[in-house]
Amino acid sequence: MLGYFFDHAATSPIRQVAVDAWVEHAHLLNPAGQYGSGRKANAALAQARETIAELLGADPVEVIFTGSGTEADNIAVAGLYRASLTPGAGPAANPAADPAAGRVVSTSIEHPAVLETVKALAASGAEVDYLQPSPTGFIELDADVLSTPAAVATMMWANNETGAIQPVERFVELAAAAGTPTHIDAVQVVGHLPVDFRALGATTLAASAHKFGGPKGVGILLAKRSPAPTAIIHGGGQERGLRSGTVDVASAAATAAALKEAVAEMEAEAHRLSTLKNRLVHHLRTAIPDCIVTAAGAEAAGAEPTAATQELAGATPAAAATPAAARDGLAGAGATPTAAATPAAARDGLAGAAPAVLPGHAHFQFPGANGDAMIMLLDSHGIEASTGSACNSGVNRLSHVLEAMGADEANALGALRFTMGRDTGEEAVDKLCSVLPDVIERARVAAKF
């Protein structure tokens, strides 16, 4: 890859094992065919499904291939909502059907794949309750909201902008106690942190292949058999009737190969990336003292910040259920280790040890700087990054995530997201550190005009 790529949260370069798997299976025909070539294609598809199921703690029948993570989110959220409205569905099909029809629980910091789906449901008459984040970006679970039955409750596992890992296990637990089906958007997590769908207890979970080095145009939906979403795509009934259309066997095989490699190197990568992130954060805090590290740490709601929560952005241990070695790589001096998605730590995400941030994820706010100017100036140095905010007609707009966190607009308009991956090394981080102070200074001048 040319230049220095710091936008792995948007996409990650395809792995060679995925390319090889795709080429190997590209000649296969329709897996629905009842003849020999169809059976051969179906066998390859079944193998890919079984591999993914084993890696994500699911049953093979629960693995649904989609065209993207966005599509998986739409099928889950809209499908579970529609299931609650199905006449005669009843508690056996959907425990929340009768008392919850028409109600949705979500958060104000979701990816547009979920946020816009929820807005569309609201436009069609759904009542929506939004859970809000703390100023550090971690969702504050409202027991009153979650204890009231709903058609579906949906939350992202880790935020695509800030990298903040959310208390998904407690979220699922509270919603399930009310009989509410749950969807987890795990697009930023699958392939980077351990996932056990069975242990999590969610109804559905979405992932995207290109986020962990698989091909673009492939999503994964993990969906329990009951309660199941109602189909929103109609046709030949493939993928348990949830996603009609001929399945792309080659891309499914490539996705399975990429996920297998990603999971195998997960612990080592978490340690390596967290070390690089700490290096970046330490340098920027020294060179640009007024920079704000978003989601650097979070304390119990209403509590005063502790020494640990004042540590580096990567100093709060990053991985949801990551092994000890990976967690230790994120712990700064005096930081208290935690695993954000282990049963205890996830449930205690609002109290006690600081919640965590994805290991390769660093999000900053540079007060008074212009986000678009920073991106263009970095690009002139061969550095590719993201503001993480929406852009309309060339005007940098406040990110809905930072707005929900209550960030100051002058700070938030100077936001930059640096996300690292397997091709990120010390040279890239050092290059970024060497040019960023001048970039920020020039972007602050640009913001005045």
**Number of Cβ atoms within 10 Å of the Cβ of 439:** 23
| Structural fold of domain 16-263 | Aspartate Aminotransferase; domain 2 (3.40.640)
Kindly report whether the global pTM for this prediction surpasses the value 0.75: yes
Interatomic CA distance for residues 445 and 433, integer angstroms: 20
The pLDDT value given to residue 91: 42
Task: Provide the residue type at 105 as one letter.
Answer: V
Q: Which of 7, 1, 3 is nearest to 387 (CA)?
A: 7
pLDDT at 100: 66
Query: Which architecture characterizes domain 4-10+265-446 according to CATH?
Result: Alpha-Beta Complex (3.90)
Q: Give me 89's structure tokens.
A: 């569905």
Count the Cβ atoms, other than its own, within 10 Å of residue 86. 13
Q: How far apart are CA 3 and CA 440, in angstroms?
A: 19
Least confident window among 65-69, 133-137, 312-316, 428-432: 312-316
What torsion, rounded to 10 degrees, do the Cα atoms 12, 15, 20, 24 define?
A: -40
> Is the CB of residue 309 less than 8 Å from the CB of residue 296?
yes
Per-residue CA distances from 342 to 168, 185, 193, 390 (Å) = 10, 17, 11, 33
SS in 3 state form for 401-432? HHHHCCCCHHHHCCEEEEECCCCCCHHHHHHH
Q: Angle at which helices 426-446 and 371-380 pack, to 10 degrees?
A: 130
State the pairing for strand pair 292-293/395-396: unpaired
Q: CA separation (Å) from 16 to 45, 215, 258?
A: 20, 11, 8
pLDDT single digits (tens) 238-270: 999 999 999 999 999 999 999 999 999 999 999
pLDDT classification of 87: cutoffs 50, 70, 90: low
Three-class SS state of 89: coil
pLDDT at 428: 98
Q: What are phi and psi of 348, to 5 degrees?
A: -95, 20
Q: Strand pairing partners for 393?
A: none
- The tokens 């169809």 sit on which residue? 38
How far apart are alpha carbons 42 and 50 in whole angstroms? 12
DSSP 364: E
For 220, the 3-state DSSP assignment is: strand
pLDDT tens for each residue of 108-124: 999 999 999 999 999 99
pLDDT at position 351 over 80 = no
Query: Residue ranges per domain, the chain?
Result: 4-10+265-446, 16-263
Backbone angles phi, psi at 155, to 5 degrees: -150, 145
Asked if the model's pLDDT at residue 352 lies above 70, the reply is no
Nearest 10 degrees: Cα torsion 18, 248, 187, 383: 50
Let me know: does 114 contact 77? Beta carbons within 8 Å: yes
- At a CB cut-off of 8 Å and minimum separation 6, what does 258 contact? 14, 15, 17, 18, 21, 191, 209, 212, 213, 214, 215
Indicate the pairing of strand 63-66 with strand 383-384.
unpaired
When comparing pLDDT for 324 and 72, which is higher?
72
Residue 168: is its pLDDT beyond 50?
A: yes
Give residue 80's pLDDT.
98
Q: What residues are annotated to the active site?
A: 391
Percent of the chain with pLDDT over 90: 79
